[in-house]
Amino acid sequence: RGCTGTGGTCSTWRWTRGTWGMEALRGGACARAWTRRGCTGTGGKARSIQVRSDVVGLGQAMVDLAAHVDDDYLTKHQLVKGERRVITHRERARILEGLDGSRCHATAGGSLANTLVALSRLGRGRIDVCMAGAVGTDAMGQYFRAQMDQADVSFLHVDRPNTFTGTVCVLTTPDAQRTMLTCVGASSAWDVPRPLRATIARAKMLVIEGYLWETEGCARAIHVAVAWARRHRTAVALTASDVTVVRRHRRAFLALLPHVDVLFANQAEAHALVHASDAGACASRLSRTCPLVVVTDGRRGSHVVSRGRGHHVSSHPVDRPIVDTCGAGDAYAAGVLYGLCTDMDVVAAAHVGAEVAGVVLAQTGGRLSRADADRLAHTCTSKRRKELREQERSASSEAAARLSRTHASCVR
């Protein structure tokens, strides 16, 4: 995007999409790290991309293929309503062939991608967001990269030759239940290269998607990324992602929790981890090893436990019919992260999460639109300013009362 470096003959740079590096079009090269807003290097040799981000996420780069189906379709294809399972490339072809003639909506999705796009849109340019993942060299990989760029989310990716980009077939029935069929593709394995480590070291928070535990290669990358984040005092957030994933990898989740700062889970996922009686008890139990635990419980709201103190946050009323539950949890996490990034307390951040989730429940697909994000961000900013004014008035009143008591004591 252009360079203002002063060393050598560095003048014009190109971000080489499809690799982890950048190259000079002519002349010398720059020694400073590349950022989203260009390069300010001072000459020397070309180095790899190091994106400056407030939040960087590690997750599966998937394309969501969402469609509305009836119960007969699930029965015909021997699918269990509400399940999430991994399918092969051939099974995906058969599922999509069965949707021939149906309206199918494609988005650059994946659980973490939905969260990061919503966070970026809520931040409106004030929060730099980055995602790392692996895509294939097919058309869907190009589509995913273009969609991330359009959503203002920097995408550090590895192109894996001779592979296809992963997809998630999201089948929603009339009762708003979703059945998710994942074809992992290129996201089956990748590592944490040096540029990504540099990005993690510079970030304020690292967000890890629980779905990564599904593949052995990605599981190894989780430990490397978390260790690097702890070394550089970058906060770590973990999403449980899905109850079936938690059940299959419960020991791995519990072993990682002492190194995690924020945990996102729903009631079923939290129960699979600690087997407590209800969502509140699960959050309390999990908080023994994780400083901030957020457990959502559908219409009953959510439970937030921060350093031993528990809070119940009511769900936000939805004034429109619930169309699709897909992505509500991702949107909730985005709202909470937005609150934490803008210095809200955990309860206020949870209220933002509930409000964002309420918007997504009334639409098809889990992607928060720019218009809704702008409206929500404006509302949150107004509420925040009102809270700050009230805090200032309260502090002024307390200061005046202390001054009055001191004056009375001096008079006596």
**pLDDT given for residue 52 in this prediction:** 61
In contact, 167 and 64? CB cutoff 8 Å: yes
Q: Which residues contact 191 (CB under 8 A, 6 or more apart)?
A: 217, 220, 221, 224
What DSSP string describes 15-36? E-TTSSBEEESSS----SPBBT
Number of Cβ atoms within 10 Å of the Cβ of 369: 14
For 30, the token pair is: 């720059």
The predicted pLDDT at position 28 comes to 29
Q: Locate tokens 């409000």: which residue?
A: 355
Mean per-residue pLDDT pooled into runs of 10, the chain (412 residues): 36 28 27 32 37 84 88 90 86 86 78 92 90 89 90 83 86 86 84 89 94 82 94 96 92 96 96 93 95 94 92 84 78 94 91 90 76 84 59 65 68 64
**Per-residue model confidence (pLDDT) at position 153:** 93
pTM of the model: 0.76
d(CA 336, CA 207): 12
The count of residues in the chain is 412
Q: Output phi, psi for 369, to 5 deg.
A: -75, 160
* Residue 364, pLDDT score: 67
For the chain, first and last CA: distance in Å?
Answer: 71
Looking up tokens 């809270």, which residue turns up? 387
At 57 the pLDDT is 95
Predicted confidence at residue 391, as pLDDT, reads: 57
Q: In the prediction, which pLDDT does 26 show?
A: 23
- Cβ-contact 171, 178 below 8 angstroms: yes
pLDDT of residue 258: 95
